[in-house]
Structure 1
Amino acid sequence: MTHSSPRVIATDLDGTIVRSDGTISARTVDALARVERAGSMLVMVTGRPPRWMTDIAAAVDHHGVAICANGAVVYDLHTETVLKAYEIPSPVIAETIGRLRAIAPALRFAVEHTDGFMFEDSYTLGRMNAKALGGRPVSSEAILGLSGTKLLGFDPEADPDSLSEKAVEAVGDLVTVTHSSGRGLLEMSAHGVTKASALAALCTEHGLTSEDVTAFGDMPNDLPMLTWAGTSYAVANAHPLVLAAVTHKTSRNDDDGVAEVLERLFA
C-alpha cells in the first residue's frame, strides 16, 4: 500500500454509491474491494436501518463495518449483527413529538429500532408502504411510549429544507435533526449522534484520526461526516449544501463517481 492511499474510506450508500435504480455497479464493487485489499478500512455510513443492509452486505461480499441509522447503529457486515446502538429514550421521543406537532401538525411519526419500526396509522410514505417495509402500526398515544434508534417525522407536502430548519429550531436541544430523502421526511437521532460521531468513535478504536479518512456523500445527513473527515468528496448529484461543504467533487452516482476516485487512490 502506498503511503498516499487513505487508511479509511467512509462512504454513504443511497445517492452516492447506490445508483438511482437501487443497484451497486460491478465497477463500484470492484473499487470497494481494492480498499480492503490495500489494507485500508472500508466503512459504509448510511441513514438506512440495519435490516436494509442485507443486499449491501452481499454486494460487498460481507466485508467491512456499517454505520447505520445516521450514526445510531454500528453493524458488522461480516456477521450481520449489531455491535452498538445509541437510542433515543422514550421521554425524549414523547417531548420531541409534542413540540413538533405544535409547529407542524401535519407530521406523522415512526420510530425505528434495531430490528424493525413502529409507525402511526396515518404515516404513509407514498409509494413506499410502511407495512410492506416491515413496520407495525401503533396508535398515536403508543408511539409516545417508545424508545428507538431513529425518530422519523413525515409530511408529504413539506419542503425538506425548510421543514428541517423549523425542526432544528424546535427540538435541536433534544435530538439531532437531519434529512436525506429529498422529501418532507425528518430523520432524528439521539442528541449528538451523527454519522461523524459514530465514525470518529470507530476510528479512535483503531488508533486513527479524521486526517486518515476520505469520505463520500450526497445529502445533508452526510454533512457532519464530510466536514469531519480530512478529505471529502461530493458526487455531482449532491444537495447544494453538500457541494458547498466538501474539499473535492466527483461524477454522479449513476456514473460511478466514487469508483472513479477509488481507482485513482488505490491504483
Structure 2
Amino acid sequence: MSTPRLVATDLDGTLCDVDGMVSVYTRDVLLALDERDVPVVFVTGRPLRWAREVFGHVGSHGLAVVSNGAMIWDVSRDRPTTVRGIPARAALDWCEALRAAVPGTVFGVESQRGLDVEPDFVERFPLPETARRAPMADLLTDEPGSQALKLLARHEELGPQEFWDLAEEATGGSLTITWSSSTTLLEVSAAGVTKATTLALLCSDLGVEPDEVIAFGDMPNDLQMLRWAGTSYAMADAHPSVVEAADHVAPGHDHDGVAQVLAGVFDL
C-alpha cells in the first residue's frame, strides 16, 4: 500500500473513546500527521453542535464532514463551505409517507441552528436549550441556516433493520436513509447525500484521488465511505456489515485503534 495523502475517519465508535472524546495518544498521532501536511478529515454523523467538541484535534487543515455528509465545515474559518440540505417539501412528503406506512414513527430535524423535534419524540440525550417541539410542518423550512441537514425518524417498538426496510419500501428511496445508533433511529439525508459522496467532493477540491484515501468506520452509515476509499478499516467492534465491507480490521475504538493503524502506516 502506498502512503495515503488523506485520512478520513468516523468519530463515535471509531476515533473517539467510549466517552466520545479523543485520547492523548490519538491526539498526538493526529498532530504528527498535521505536521506532515496530511489532512485528517472527521467524517461523522454527528451534527455540528456535537462535532465541535473534538474540532480542536482536527489540526490546521481543519475540515470536517458532519451530519452524514450534509455539510462540509471549515474548522479554522468556523463556517460551512458546502451545504447539502433537504428541501422542506421533500422532507415533509417523506415524513408523511413513512408515518402513513409505519404508525408510531416520530421525527426530529437537525439543522445548522440545532435540533428540533416533534412533541412525542423521545430523545436519549438532553435537548439543546434552543430546541423546539412542534409538528414537522412547523419545523421544516428552506431558510438558509435552518434548512434540514438530517431528519431523524424514531420508533419505540421496531428493531433498527426492520424499521429501515419498512422505511425504504414506504418512501421509494426518495431520500437517503442510514443508521448509526444502538437504538431504532434512522438518519435521513437529501437524495444522493452520504459520507462518501460529500467526502468525494472534498477530495476533488483538494486534488486527492480515492486510492490516496485511508478511511475508518464502524457502523452502516460508514459503508459507502469505506467502499469508496482506496484503503479501508473497520474497527474490531464494528457492525458485522462494516467488518465484511472493509479491507482490514483495526483494534477497537477504546484501544486507540485508528491511531495505532496510522502510526504504523505513516511510520510515526
Q: Look up the equivalent residue of 1:130 and give its one-letter code.
A: L
For the aligned residue pairs, the C-alpha RMSD in angstroms reads: 1.7
Q: Look up the equivalent residue of 1:6 and give its one-letter code.
A: P
Q: After superposing the two structures, state which structure 1 stretch, 143-152 or 178-187, moved more.
A: 143-152
Q: Look up the equivalent residue of 1:12 and give its one-letter code.
A: D
Please point out which of 43, 61, 73 is paired with 2:71: 73
Q: After superposing the two structures, state which structure 1 stretch, 165-174 or 94-103, moved more.
A: 165-174
Post-superposition shift, 1:92?
0.5
Post-superposition shift, 1:58?
2.3
Post-superposition shift, 1:57?
1.2
Please point out which of 45, 48, 60 is paired with 1:47: 45
Gaps of 5+ in 1: none
Query: Residue 170 of structure 1 aligns to a residue in which SS?
Result: helix
> Are the counterparts in 2 of residues 34 and 266 from structure 1 also a CA contact under 8 Å?
no
Partner of 2:162: 162
Distance in structure 1 (CA, Å) of the matches to 2:47 and 2:140: 20
Partner of 2:150: 150
Q: Structure 1, residues 97-124: CA drift from partner, whole Å, max 9, x if none?
A: 0111022211111111112122111111
Please point out which of 55, 58, 61 is paired with 1:57: 55
Post-superposition shift, 1:154?
1.0
Q: Look up the equivalent residue of 1:168 and give its one-letter code.
A: E
Distance in structure 1 (CA, Å) of the matches to 2:83 and 2:48: 11
Distance in structure 2 (CA, Å) of the matches to 1:259 and 1:156: 36
Partner of 2:227: 227
Distance in structure 1 (CA, Å) of the matches to 2:98 and 2:184: 13
Distance in structure 1 (CA, Å) of the matches to 2:172 and 2:17: 32
Distance in structure 1 (CA, Å) of the matches to 2:263 and 2:221: 26
> Are the counterparts in 2 of residues 9 and 35 from structure 1 also a CA contact under 8 Å?
no
Distance in structure 2 (CA, Å) of the matches to 1:187 and 1:62: 30
What TM-score comes out, normalization by structure 1 length? 0.93
Partner of 1:199: 199
Q: Structure 1, residues 240-261: CA drift from partner, whole Å, max 9, x if none?
A: 1101100000110001110110
> Are the counterparts in 2 of residues 119 and 130 from structure 1 also a CA contact under 8 Å?
no
Distance in structure 2 (CA, Å) of the matches to 1:129 and 1:6: 39
> Are the counterparts in 1 of residues 21 and 54 from structure 2 also a CA contact under 8 Å?
no
Post-superposition shift, 1:17?
0.8
Distance in structure 2 (CA, Å) of the matches to 1:210 and 1:169: 32
**Alignment of 1:255 onto 2:234:** no
Gaps of 5+ in 2: none
**Alignment of 1:130 onto 2:127:** yes
Q: Look up the equivalent residue of 1:159 and give its one-letter code.
A: G
Post-superposition shift, 1:63?
4.5
Instruction: Name the CA shift for 1:204/1:172 in 2 (closer, same or farther; >3 Å).
Output: farther
Post-superposition shift, 1:48?
0.8
Query: Residue 153 of structure 2 aligns to a residue in which SS?
Result: strand
Distance in structure 2 (CA, Å) of the matches to 1:24 and 1:190: 30
Query: Residue 47 of structure 1 aligns to a residue in which SS?
Result: coil
Post-superposition shift, 1:191?
0.2
> Are the counterparts in 2 of residues 124 and 130 from structure 1 also a CA contact under 8 Å?
no
Post-superposition shift, 1:166?
1.8
Query: Residue 181 of structure 1 aligns to a residue in which SS?
Result: coil
Identity %: 41
Q: Structure 1, residues 210-236: CA drift from partner, whole Å, max 9, x if none?
A: 101100000000011001001000011
Query: Residue 34 of structure 2 aligns to a residue in which SS?
Result: helix
Please point out which of 31, 34, 52 is paired with 1:36: 34
> Are the counterparts in 1 of residues 41 and 58 from structure 2 also a CA contact under 8 Å?
no
Partner of 2:13: 15
> Are the counterparts in 2 of residues 112 and 118 from structure 1 also a CA contact under 8 Å?
yes
What TM-score comes out, normalization by structure 2 length? 0.92
> Are the counterparts in 1 of residues 39 and 61 from structure 2 also a CA contact under 8 Å?
no
**Alignment of 1:237 onto 2:218:** no
Distance in structure 2 (CA, Å) of the matches to 1:62 and 1:49: 21
Post-superposition shift, 1:51?
1.6
